[in-house]
Amino acid sequence: MSSDHSIRRDGLATPSRRRFVQGLAAGGAIAGLGLWPRTGWALRSPGQSTVLSGTEFDLAIGETPVNITGRLRPAVTVNGSLPAPLLRWREGTTVNLRVSNRLPSGSIHGQQTSIHWHGILLPANMDGVPGLSFDGIGRGETYHYRFAVNQAGTYWYHSHSGFQEQAGLYGPLIIDPAGPEPFAFDRDYVVMLSDWTDLDPAALFARLKKMPGHDNYYRRTVGDFIRDVSDDGLRATLADRGMWGRMRMTPTDLSDVNGNTYTYLMNGTTTPGNWTCLFRSGEKVRLRFINGSSMTHFDVRIPGLKMTVVAADGQNVHPVTVDEFRIATAETFDVIVEPASQDAFTIFAQDMGRTGFVAGTLAVREGLRAPVPAVDPRPILTMADMGHGGMDHAGMDHGSMDHSGHDMGSAASMQQHPASETGNPLMDMQTMTPAPKLEDPGIGLRDNGRKVLSYAMLRSLFEDPDGRDPDRDIELHLTGHMEKFAWGFNGRKFSEAEPLRFNYGERLRIVLVNDTMMTHPIHLHGMWSDLEDEGGNFHLRKHTIDMPPGTRRSYRVRADALGSWAYHCHLLYHMEAGMMRQVRVDE
């Protein structure tokens, strides 16, 4: 057990007093601007030095020492700030962004850099993925991004070079619409969530390859076994433990890197730093949540306030009011809240594995805090979570991986698998009975006494913008091996796979099947991902589709962008370990 943590009676780790004091000293993360939190990022507030607006931008990528945990570490920053400056564009304009590489010689974060404009439709050579859409930006060089802005909403930008995103190169991006918004608000704030580690991110990746279970402190105990026997009976408990043992997995392993390594940040600020946004009683406040983390799903709520979700991934949706939502890495959600009954409310975001949290405050003045809720109990994965529901797996040999469909007896109701998965040493499981699960709020959020958002509750405010039925389907399986920290599509990592080829102008359907026990947010560059409902109808326009274990989800794509595009899991270390493909759109 790390010396930085103590253990509560419920088994959860809590930061030691030493680490808490370190965090208290690190309210903000901008070098030279002091360690205490900045004022709220109200987009309409004057004097916000971290907000850059207009059509002409000069962005310098460099290395800046920051103090998050009590010691200085080198971060990759834009114009010296972490997060990078908030950029405000306007729909219908053309933006010019001159991005200069000022990384020092010998930087641990590499000599090349890049910026990818996440969720923005633009020409391939403006997309910012080295090796696919351009050569990257060498040290001392400046790259001129220039493109028309043909959309509006809440987005973000980040590096696509090495592990620079983990080291701080990420920032919010707001595009004001050309016309009026379909909802009213009085104040407007960005709430950008992220995860920070003092480790060199390359060293963290190396550790994941060697010890992928390093952060999973919460393995099941003898006490858990006794309780499960009492609840479920000895035979069922032994069968359950046997299945997990044969799969060489643990049902408590929800995230590869968690609060045992990470410090979670809200707009670059730790919980003790208390990032605060202001309101007057009775105002409608728009909060633009952006998950700019490298590896973390956050569950977000504001105790005492309902949140009305009005946009997802920058696209307006029919308003839906909830108590809580899960935001996957790279997703954005805009919500409207109406604080009135008290002077302060806590904005609370806990990680999916319940190993940590970050909190800020919505208040009538600076310096206030509301009670911070306890982290929820840690969730336990079940076989049903992984698409093995209703089947007897006691005799199934998960090690053989010969589950391609033809040998499974009643395979008609079971998931078929690509031949490339059979006998594949880079896979440790397959799902047998996956389902869309669009109505499922997610592991750890079911029946928690709160109204929790699900994909089924979200519906775009517009009809299918294309209108055509897809001409063909492409089915891809998300695959991996936990002990080897190997990730890919259809059992192949990026370096071994041929590009996916789309025909320019076609409407196609991508079907994703998650053959792993992890949750993967999947992002296609350059084109929208139009999620279908369970009946195959257009449902929700997004740029990132979250794929929990045991799910099979489909979405439509209009191949209207020529060139080479990245297609990958947005968990940074999964992408680096191979869960990425090149998409080529050719005439």
In the chain, the domains with their CATH numbers are 5-183 (2.60.40.420), 379-587 (2.60.40.420)
Task: Provide mean pLDDT across the span 109-138.
Answer: 96
Secondary-structure breakdown of the chain: helix, strand, coil percentages, each rounded to the nearest 5: 10, 35, 55
Predicted confidence band of residue 4 (pLDDT cuts 50, 70, 90): very low
Do 347 and 463 meet the contact criterion of CB atoms below 8 Å apart?
no
Angle between helices 222-232 and 234-246 (to 10 degrees): 130
Task: Provide mean pLDDT across the span 221-236.
Answer: 58
d(CA 466, CA 101) in angstroms, rounded, equals 39
**What pLDDT, on the 0 to 100 scale, is given for residue 504?**
97
Predicted confidence band of residue 369 (pLDDT cuts 50, 70, 90): very high
Task: Provide mean pLDDT across the span 17-45.
Answer: 39
Distance of CA 428 to the CA centre of its chain: 23
Q: Of the given ranges (18-32, 104-118, 153-167, 266-280), which has the lowest mean pLDDT?
A: 18-32
Within 8 A by CB and 6+ apart from 75, the residues are 29, 63, 64, 65, 66, 82, 167, 168
Do 288 and 334 meet the contact criterion of CB atoms below 8 Å apart?
yes
d(CA 364, CA 273) in angstroms, rounded, equals 17
**Quick one: 367 exposed, middle or buried, by C-beta within 10 A (0-12, 13-18, 19+)?**
exposed
Q: Of the given ranges (73-82, 266-275, 402-411), which has the lowest mean pLDDT?
A: 402-411
Predicted confidence band of residue 407 (pLDDT cuts 50, 70, 90): very low
Do 369 and 360 meet the contact criterion of CB atoms below 8 Å apart?
no
Q: Which of 145, 167, 164, 155 is nearest to 544 (CA)?
A: 155
Type and span of the H or E element at 478: strand 472-481
d(CA 259, CA 255) in angstroms, rounded, equals 10
Look at residue 560 and tell me whether its pLDDT is greater than 70: yes
At residue 229, the 3 state secondary structure works out as helix
Look at residue 508 and tell me whether its pLDDT is greater than 50: yes
Do 154 and 334 meet the contact criterion of CB atoms below 8 Å apart?
yes
Task: Provide mean pLDDT across the span 507-531.
Answer: 96
Q: Could you tell me the two tokens for 10?
A: 């419920």
Look at residue 563 and tell me whether its pLDDT is greater than 80: yes
Integer Rg of the chain from CA? 23
Share of the chain above pLDDT 90, in %: 70
Instruction: Please give the residue that has the higher pLDDT: either 299 or 246.
Output: 299
Cα–Cα distances in angstroms (integers) from residue 268 to residues 10, 265, 349, in the given order: 29, 5, 14
Do 61 and 76 meet the contact criterion of CB atoms below 8 Å apart?
yes
At residue 199, the 3 state secondary structure works out as coil
d(CA 582, CA 587) in angstroms, rounded, equals 16
Write out pLDDT tens, residues 49-60: 589 999 999 999
Within 8 A by CB and 6+ apart from 577, the residues are 205, 208, 209, 485, 486, 487, 493
**What pLDDT, on the 0 to 100 scale, is given for residue 182?**
95
Look at residue 585 and tell me whether its pLDDT is greater than 60: yes
Look at residue 557 and tell me whether its pLDDT is greater than 60: yes
d(CA 482, CA 505) in angstroms, rounded, equals 38
Q: Could you tell me the two tokens for 373?
A: 């809720």
Do 345 and 249 meet the contact criterion of CB atoms below 8 Å apart?
no
Look at residue 413 and tell me whether its pLDDT is greater than 70: no
Write out pLDDT tens, residues 444-490: 999 999 999 999 999 999 999 999 999 999 999 999 998 898 999 99
Task: Provide mean pLDDT across the span 377-383.
Answer: 80
Task: Provide mean pLDDT across the span 119-128.
Answer: 98
At residue 237, the 3 state secondary structure works out as helix
**What pLDDT, on the 0 to 100 scale, is given for residue 382?**
74
Task: Provide mean pLDDT across the span 339-351.
Answer: 96
| Pairing status of strand 170-176 against strand 86-90 | parallel
Half-sphere exposure at residue 462, Cβ-oriented, CA atoms within 13 angstroms: 12
d(CA 62, CA 268) in angstroms, rounded, equals 17
**What pLDDT, on the 0 to 100 scale, is given for residue 431?**
87
Distance spanning both ends of the chain, measured CA to CA: 56
Write out pLDDT tens, residues 245-280: 555 455 555 778 888 899 999 999 999 999 999 999
CA angle 362, 364, 370 (to 5 degrees): 50
**What pLDDT, on the 0 to 100 scale, is given for residue 30?**
41
Instruction: Please give the residue that has the higher pLDDT: either 33 or 316.
Output: 316
**What pLDDT, on the 0 to 100 scale, is given for residue 122?**
98
d(CA 111, CA 165) in angstroms, rounded, equals 14
Task: Provide mean pLDDT across the span 343-360.
Answer: 96
**What pLDDT, on the 0 to 100 scale, is given for residue 390?**
41
**What pLDDT, on the 0 to 100 scale, is given for residue 234?**
67
Predicted confidence band of residue 210 (pLDDT cuts 50, 70, 90): confident
d(CA 487, CA 580) in angstroms, rounded, equals 9
Within 8 A by CB and 6+ apart from 84, the residues are 59, 77, 78, 157, 168, 169, 170, 171
Cα–Cα distances in angstroms (integers) from residue 167 to residues 19, 177, 483, in the given order: 20, 31, 25
Q: Of the given ranges (414-418, 465-469, 569-573), which has the lowest mean pLDDT?
A: 414-418
Count the Cβ atoms, other than its own, within 10 Å of residue 396: 16
Q: Could you tell me the two tokens for 429?
A: 């499981």
d(CA 573, CA 482) in angstroms, rounded, equals 12
Q: Of the given ranges (30-44, 376-390, 426-440, 455-469), which has the lowest mean pLDDT?
A: 30-44
**What is the rounded average pLDDT for all residues in the chain?**
85
Instruction: Please give the residue that has the higher pLDDT: either 3 or 559.
Output: 559
Write out pLDDT tens, residues 309-336: 999 999 999 999 999 999 999 999 999 9
Q: Which of 284, 280, 337, 328 is nearest to 309 (CA)?
A: 337
**What pLDDT, on the 0 to 100 scale, is given for residue 429?**
85
Within 8 A by CB and 6+ apart from 579, the residues are 478, 480, 487, 488, 489, 493, 494, 520, 568, 569, 571
Count the Cβ atoms, other than its own, within 10 Å of residue 242: 13
